[in-house]
């Protein structure tokens, strides 16, 4: 069954200056959508998108600024979020919970509702368990600002969208990689000439998800009738351990940095000691090591995307080898010393 076309239709992307949002916006532009981008700073819009989209200045923390972006949209992709690995709880709450509520309140007062809202969440809502989860697993707050706030944001979407009759889909991506990835940049710099932590031999699943594969799923979720009202995990088909990911990236960029392998318990205690003064003194700068990083490297991120595949969504179209090659090429072009 063919899906509706985006060509000539008005599509809003929030977070279009970010990693996922910018990749999605480029794909929508190529498919002929009339693109609207909600951004806080128009100057931060990538040059290749600025001339192909309607730029709407707005801030999710200020509901009064969202109307022009939302008005007249056929689809809304909500990619904007505070994805920092180190920030204060109130800052995550402002964007990832209150900001979601503001967006839905703005949608509610429009003359017509969009055909669908696609909300980007995260597999972190499972609480970084020891074993992979599917969508039947109960979400569990992971105990850090990003994951906790994204779980509360999901609940806002469920409750508000159902109340106003807004069609919606929630996607829970694993660890998104690819050209422009802040994670590839950060890890690549450490592997280049610094010190990179590996936990317990790097045996856990990294939950590798290539950004263009995620975009495939976003576009499908917006149009597939069977997706409406559903929540899906999104991950690539091939299981990639942290060991393989770090080894492949280090080799690909010709890295000379050191990889320090620590047992989970040792790494966790060390992280708690390092981050303690930052929390006590409320220092905004991120410490070199903190417990959230250890939790990510020490627990599986490879949650099942079987439900998504069974529903007919294209999963893992671009294989890992090609995705890693693209990530390495981008890093070499932009960050080699």
Q: Is the dihedral of CA 271, 276, 277, 279 positive or negative?
A: positive
Instruction: Report which secondary-structure segment, H or E, holds 233.
Output: strand 231-234
133's tokens: 């989860």
Question: How many other C-beta atoms lie within 10 A of the C-beta of residue 135?
Answer: 18
Residue among 264, 144, 251, 123 at smallest CA distance from 202? 264
Q: Regarding beta strands 231-234 and 195-199, do their DSSP bridges make them parallel or antiparallel, or are they unpaired?
A: unpaired
**Is residue 220 a contact partner of residue 314, using CB atoms and an 8 Å limit?**
yes
To the question of pTM greater than 0.75 for the whole model, the response is yes
Q: Can you list the domains of the chain with their CATH numbers?
A: 10-177+206-238+302-318 (3.40.50.720)
Radius of gyration of the chain (CA): 20
Residue among 143, 301, 94 at smallest CA distance from 208? 301
Burial of 74-92, coded b for 16+ CB within 10 Å and e otherwise, reads bbbbbbbbbbeebbeeeeb
Instruction: Report which secondary-structure segment, H or E, holds 20.
Output: helix 19-30
What digits encode the pLDDT tens for the residues 61-104?
A: 999 999 999 999 999 999 999 999 999 999 999 999 999 999 99
CA distance 287 to 63: 33
CA distance 277 to 258: 26
SS3 108: helix
- CA 99, distance to chain mean position in Å, is 16
Residue among 121, 102, 107, 123 at smallest CA distance from 60? 102
- Side-chain half-sphere of 145: how many Cα atoms within 13 Å? 18
Local structure of residue 4 (DSSP, 8 states): P
109's tokens: 């007062």
CA distance 295 to 270: 12
CA distance 313 to 99: 29
303's tokens: 């949650």
Which neighbouring-strand residues pair with 171?
120, 232
Question: How many other C-beta atoms lie within 10 A of the C-beta of residue 261?
Answer: 13
Per-position DSSP letters for 249-277, written without gaps between them:
HHHHHT---EEEEE-HHHHHHHHHHHHHH
pLDDT in tens, the chain (337 residues): 688 899 999 999 999 999 999 999 999 999 999 999 999 999 999 999 998 999 999 999 999 999 999 999 999 999 999 999 999 999 999 999 999 999 999 999 999 999 999 999 999 999 989 899 999 999 999 999 999 999 999 999 999 999 999 999 999 999 999 999 999 999 999 999 999 999 999 999 999 999 999 999 999 999 999 999 999 999 999 999 999 999 999 999 999 999 999 999 999 999 999 999 999 999 989 998 999 999 999 999 999 999 999 999 999 999 999 999 999 999 999 976 5
Instruction: Report which secondary-structure segment, H or E, holds 325.
Output: helix 320-335
């Amino acid at each position: 069954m063919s899906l509706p076309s985006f060509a000539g239709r008005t599509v809003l992307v929030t977070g279009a200056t970010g990693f996922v949002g910018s990749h999605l916006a480029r794909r929508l532009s190529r498919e002929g959508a009339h693109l609207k981008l909600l951004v806080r700073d128009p100057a931060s819009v990538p040059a290749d998108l600025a001339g192909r989209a309607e730029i709407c200045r707005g801030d999710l923390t200020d509901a009064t600024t969202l109307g022009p972006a939302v008005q007249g949209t056929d689809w809304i992709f909500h990619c904007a979020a505070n994805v920092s690995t180190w920030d204060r709880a109130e800052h995550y709450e402002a964007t990832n919970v209150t900001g979601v509520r503001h967006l839905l309140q703005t949608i509610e007062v429009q003359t017509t509702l969009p055909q669908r809202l696609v909300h980007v969440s995260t597999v972190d809502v499972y609480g970084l368990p020891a074993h992979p989860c599917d969508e039947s697993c109960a979400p569990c707050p992971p105990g850090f600002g990003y994951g906790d706030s994204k779980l509360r944001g999901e609940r806002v979407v469920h409750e508000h969208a159902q109340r106003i009759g807004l069609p919606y889909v929630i996607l829970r991506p694993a660890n998104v990689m690819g050209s422009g990835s802040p994670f590839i940049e950060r890890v690549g710099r450490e592997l280049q000439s610094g010190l990179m932590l590996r936990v317990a031999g790097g045996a856990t699943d990294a939950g590798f998800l290539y950004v263009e594969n995620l975009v495939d799923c976003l576009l499908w979720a917006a149009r597939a009738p069977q997706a409406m009202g559903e929540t899906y995990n999104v991950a690539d088909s091939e299981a990639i351990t942290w060991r393989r990911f770090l080894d492949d990236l280090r080799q690909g960029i010709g890295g000379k940095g050191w990889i320090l392998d620590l047992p989970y318990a040792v790494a966790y205690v060390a992280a708690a000691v390092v981050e303690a003064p930052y929390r006590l003194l409320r220092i905004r700068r991120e410490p070199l090591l903190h417990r959230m990083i250890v939790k990510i490297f020490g627990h599986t991120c490879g949650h099942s995307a079987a439900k998504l595949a069974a529903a007919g969504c294209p999963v893992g179209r671009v294989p890992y080898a090609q995705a890693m090659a693209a990530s390495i090429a981008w890093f070499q072009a932009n960050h080699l010393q």
